[in-house]
Structure 1
Amino acid sequence: MSSRSRAFLAIIIASVLWGTAGVTAKTLVKGVDPFVASFYRFLIASLLILPFFLKEKRVSHHVWRDLFPLSLIGALNVPFFYLGIKTTTANSATAIYTAIPLTTALFSYILIKETHSRKKLIGICIGLIGALLITFLPFIEKGNLIMGDFMGNLFVVCAMLSWTLYSIGSHRILIKNRYPPLTVTSMYFFASASMSLLLSVLSNRQLIPPNLFMPTYIAVLLYSSIFITLIPYFLFQWASKRVSITTVSLKQYVELIAAVFLNSLLLGEILSGGFIIGTLLVVLGVIIATGTQILSAIKRKLLHL
């Protein structure tokens, strides 16, 4: 199997695992503050990856200067996500996150002058309209608890933008071959644990809540730390080094399908008409903006099988 084929497989595995984030997050923020839940999730992931990080031959004092500030931007992703998921629905959060390929295309043009075709720009506009519809729908449809609330969706949008900026920056670092994927992933975990702890302390949260010691909560926390953090984040960075960032955006398609199915099955979330329209607009925009390149890459791979 070629390097690009392995990258495609890594993206699919990471997407399916990330698709369970909404279900587990709902459990993690029950009785435990979102900042505290985020801290323990990344603390465990940091401890698990630390031995491998220390064995890296290219680790130097420059790694903190080069990667830690960028990682702090990405570290806002999970605390914002947990704040949002506390009041909004897991399906709303998942659908908003499908705008990541669109915001990535937009900010990559603004920040690194990456040019895009007219077709891609049309896709960006359509997808963002869908994401905004999902975000503001609770404000329009007052009292619709299935859709979550306005502030919850707004926090998820902030989380999505945080991840967008981080993914662009980390992709450039990986492409320039300055640091290996393991180092980039490790620094993100360290920064996320630090950021979540800082937010917990500054907001005077209870760092050792009673629910933390419940067997069910411990099991979900360990699952979240390993299968939604350690494994998919590393696979994402590993794949990002081997394929274009447009190809990496394929993960949002698989993640959306897996997440909506699991959220509906396990959480009983019902999809309203407005929600479905917004989601379809997001997916349509993503396909228009990035689908051609992805489908061409898949077609080339199939021809070489």
Structure 2
Amino acid sequence: MGENPVLSDPDANHVIDALQSLDFLVVQDIFLTETAQLADVVLPAASFAEKDGTFSNTERRVQLIRKAIEPIGQSKPDYEIICLISTALGYPMCYNSAEEIFEEMTRVTPAYAGISHKRLRQGSLQWPCPTPEHPGTKFLHAGKFSRGLGKFNPVEHIPPDEMPDEEYPFILSTGRRRYHYHTGSMTQRTEALEVFYPTEFLEINCADAEKLGVCDGDMLKVTSRRGTAEVAAKITDRVVPGMVFTSFQYPDVPINRLTNPARCPIAKIPEYKVCAVKVEKAS
């Protein structure tokens, strides 16, 4: 639901194999993403412009959104789809609006108890907002932390699961481009943002490019122990010798087929930033 793990998850070939081995796969999304293309059933969801509701961002700011147009085609707001499925499976769910759902949420979430669509029509609010009279909390920790003093937890350095060797001499690090969001399922369909960054490149240091006989724009084959991707070269000093960088946001450069699914034992985050690869000119 609203996720595209075929592009966003590490060791994506394994992800594809796992999804294809399922007896039945249902994907709910607003576009036919790479993941949705593997589904037995695709449930068309409404976009932000086709539904009412709220967004809460990482600033804890709750903002009201209002439907600008009716849902296109057979698409429906997410809550309507969930209600229909739940009811069909024998657990009746009936909500008449996003506002009704939000009211229920405020009854069971103390930090949202004082927030309502009526108040949000006057402007955004930041949780915690425990009562209808509360103005919201601009700074969560003003003056001091809620526990009093800050707590620092020393940790031991854990080396990456995979480092360069003779066969795979480069470190591949992945990230994002400022013009696109996540796997680009929305931002690469705008006919506007693509103008600023239409295609993806592999950033490679000048010294490494010279050793490999690579020029700007040459197609490169990048290979790890898990997979291969082809991408055009961009020679730069933004990366140090021995490292290459690209984003995971372009379907035609499925770089997460190469990345390592090894996870941090504490945060459980995959090692998107470090995996060993070899780089060569594409034939």
TM-score when normalising by structure 2: 0.20
Structure with bigger RCO (C-alpha 8 Å, 6+ apart):
1
Please, what TM-score do these two structures have when normalized by structure 1? 0.19
Structure with the bigger percentage of strand: 2
